[in-house]
């Protein structure tokens, strides 16, 4: 899957684009709209926390750093004489798993309160009243979808493609 970005000037046009995408068999769960706070979106599929915040990258960093810290703590516990009574075969993986879990949880708490860095280039346009539409499509259909939207809605500004999206947006 790839994520396509479009800047849409108003809500009515966004509704028309969503209708066109649905007719092109893009599921509604793969369409995300970000607008200035207070903009009435009606039944447009609003972007959730995973799209608007730094949640996913923060969890990825937390798992990595927490897992590495847990592994290091397990290795230190095994290396210290008289420290660990449990075998290293069980202690090190257990601490790595615990560290990764704790790291993911703690970083998720921070990540939901930080705006997504992926949306930073569009912040000014959103503040001026434009809507950012993010559409997740199969890699093979990217060009066709962009061309179709550009042909049907010339006032929409395609903003490019993100090379990949997280497996669990």
- Please report, for the chain, the start and end positions of each structural domain, with discontinuous segments joined by +: 2-47+118-162, 55-111
- pTM over 0.85, yes/no: no
Neighbours of 42 (CB within 10 A): 10
Q: Which CATH number fits domain 2-47+118-162: 3.30.565, 3.30.750, 3.40.390, 3.30.70?
A: 3.30.70
For the chain, the distance separating the N- and C-terminal CA atoms, rounded to the nearest angstrom, is 11
| pLDDT single digits (tens) 108-164 | 999 888 888 888 888 899 899 899 999 999 889 989 999 999 999 999 888 888 766
């Amino acid at each position: 899957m790839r994520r396509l970005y479009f800047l849409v000037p108003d809500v009515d046009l966004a509704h028309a684009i969503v209708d066109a995408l649905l007719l092109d068999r893009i599921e509604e769960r793969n369409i995300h709209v970000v607008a200035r706070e207070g903009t009435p979106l009606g039944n447009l599929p609003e972007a959730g926390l995973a799209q608007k915040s730094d949640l996913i990258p923060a969890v990825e960093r937390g798992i990595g750093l927490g897992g590495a810290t847990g592994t290091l703590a397990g290795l230190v516990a095994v290396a210290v004489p008289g420290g660990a009574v449990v075998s290293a075969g069980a202690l090190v993986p257990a601490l790595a798993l615990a560290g990764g879990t704790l790291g993911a949880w703690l970083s998720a708490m921070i990540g939901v309160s930080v705006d997504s860095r992926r949306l930073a280039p569009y912040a000014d346009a959103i503040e001026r009243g434009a809507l950012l539409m993010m559409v997740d499509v199969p890699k093979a259909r990217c060009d066709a979808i962009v061309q179709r939207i550009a042909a049907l809605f010339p006032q929409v500004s395609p903003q490019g493609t993100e090379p990949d999206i997280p497996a669990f947006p």
